[in-house]
Structure 1
Amino acid sequence: MTITHTTLPAPDKAALARQGRAVRKRLQADPRAYQVPTDKAEIFAFGDFLTASECRRLTGLIDDIATPSQLHEQAYVEGFRTSYSGNFDPHAPFIRGISRRIDDLLGVDDNMGEAIQGQRYLPGQQFKPHNDWFYTDQDYWEIERKRGGQRSWTAMAFLNEVEAGGTTDFTEVGISIEPKPGVLLVWNNALPDGMPNEDTMHAGTPVEAGVKYVITKWYRTRKWN
């Protein structure tokens, strides 16, 4: 049987729907927000969310903490995610300030957000099409359930221009987004009814030349541990 969002258990459905409504209302009322014109997913973009100096500082911090990226799903083929990544110290004043700005933008309590993760992609590195929400029929779900439940919203910021490649592609929506320093992307990983949205499938395409740096913060339905 093919596993889809309609066949997976959805224990956090009500919480995802509730948080989705609140964040959607806030973002749609924000004059700085650009909403991608599609009915398949709720995707917003904010230009100049980070300053040039903040982007430079974050890229340096990523270089300090980056290790080979990991995945929950052991069945993924080799090469599925080949970037380097690492979580920032959420208590560091600089990181805490940026994290709080993202929280305030979405209107989500900071204790529901994961630690901000930095990612670095060298030439040839990529993250093949995937969803950020968790498959609740997998063994890792029991761990994630206790750590804060299902992922609701994703916030991802580009930190530098890439010489070639390295776009973020929403494969089901049919859009390809070039890295632009300081731009923040925000998307809802669920449908309005709270079920996981398969159309949030996205990929970090291979970097062809240069290096790509991004930061990502994921939000949960409950307090993240």
Structure 2
Amino acid sequence: MVTSSIVIVASITISILVQQTKPSLQPGPLLTTIVSYEPLIIHIENFLAPGEVQYLTDLAQERYQPSTVIDTETGRHDRLASGRRSSTAMLPRGDAIVQSVISRSARFQGFVSEDKFEQIQATRYLEGGEYVPHYDTLSTRRSLKQENMKTEEGAKRLTTIFAFLDDSCGSHCGTQFPRIVIDWDSEDKKWCEIVDCQERTLTFRPRAGSAVFWKNLRDDGSLHEDTLHAGLPVQKSSKIGLNIWTREELI
């Protein structure tokens, strides 16, 4: 009888230890820092829980395909480009964790309709991978053909959330806004926890679970030129992030 009790207690103890070591799927309180008012750029700490980071990384693993860019003639993602060296995985909207991330993103933006969200993409950069400076929206006011596109790819992307899953890429491999110049020497050193203070232009450090939000368009619907951004070259290992985009129109 004593032996049986010991076995039961040991079993309960092991079960508790397993539960304690399993990464949580519940993110902590979102810690937000306004980095820029114009354009609006916000850093979000704890956007993804450790368990979500691991789950989404695994979910994307077998889905990666070479990344493409938008063909301005057709408005579709069907053209490879030397300036974008990465692979992309489309994550299933019906997945419970993916849907939870969409709902969280919608709430963060003031309960925007979830029907305005594109299918979430995981983007993976291996050693040497990068994405040269680019915009996330087609709304450049340069082409009526582009402005009148009604395809999913042609509609305007109002906002972007880029959430980091893998931050093992080394130093100076973050997300950079080359048109936003900041003298970090005159700023509080606490900034260096989320940005690369060695860069003259705004560059976010990749930190798994954190995210960066920004508005691509001005209030009048025109492109905000200062949202030009780049994925800096990966020095080692890899960098993985989620692209979470909202559109002007329902999808």
TM bin (shorter chain): 0.7 to 0.9
After superposition, the Cα gap between the structure-2 partners of 1:55 and 1:133, relative to the gap in structure 1 and judged at 3 Å, is: same
TM-score, normalised to structure 1, is 0.78
After superposition, the Cα gap between the structure-2 partners of 1:142 and 1:71, relative to the gap in structure 1 and judged at 3 Å, is: farther
Q: Report the residue type matching 1:170 in the other structure.
A: F
| d(CA) in 2 for partners of 1:105, 1:61 | 24
What is residue 120 of structure 2 aligned with on the other side? Answer: 116
1:122 is displaced (CA, Å) by: 0.2
What is residue 4 of structure 1 aligned with on the other side? Answer: none
Q: Report the residue type matching 1:155 in the other structure.
A: I
What is residue 214 of structure 1 aligned with on the other side? Answer: 241
Q: Report the residue type matching 2:178 in the other structure.
A: T
Q: Which has the higher contact order (CA 8 A, sep 6+)?
A: 1
| d(CA) in 1 for partners of 2:173, 2:165 | 12
1:78 is displaced (CA, Å) by: 4.2
User: 1:160-215 CA distances to partner (integer Å, 9 max, x unpaired)?
Assistant: 22242421001111201110011111100012333210110000011010110100
Asked if the contact 1:62–1:120 (Cα under 8 Å) also holds between the matched residues in 2, the reply is: no
* 1:1-225 pair list within 5 angstroms: 32-36=31-35, 38=36, 40-73=38-71, 78-107=81-110, 108-134=112-138, 135=140, 137=143, 142-143=148-149, 145-147=150-152, 149-164=155-170, 165-173=172-180, 174-224=201-251
* Bigger Rg, which one: 2
Asked if the contact 2:133–2:230 (Cα under 8 Å) also holds between the matched residues in 1, the reply is: yes
Asked if the contact 1:116–1:217 (Cα under 8 Å) also holds between the matched residues in 2, the reply is: yes
Which structure 1 residue ranges, 4+ long, deviate > 3 Å from structure 2? 73-78, 138-143
What is residue 9 of structure 1 aligned with on the other side? Answer: none
What is residue 14 of structure 1 aligned with on the other side? Answer: none
What is residue 3 of structure 1 aligned with on the other side? Answer: none
| d(CA) in 2 for partners of 1:133, 1:215 | 16
After superposition, the Cα gap between the structure-2 partners of 1:207 and 1:31, relative to the gap in structure 1 and judged at 3 Å, is: closer
| d(CA) in 2 for partners of 1:92, 1:31 | 22
TM-score, normalised to structure 2, is 0.70
In structure 1, runs of 5+ residues without a counterpart are: 1-29
Asked if the contact 1:33–1:46 (Cα under 8 Å) also holds between the matched residues in 2, the reply is: yes
After superposition, the Cα gap between the structure-2 partners of 1:177 and 1:139, relative to the gap in structure 1 and judged at 3 Å, is: same
Q: CA RMSD in A?
A: 2.4
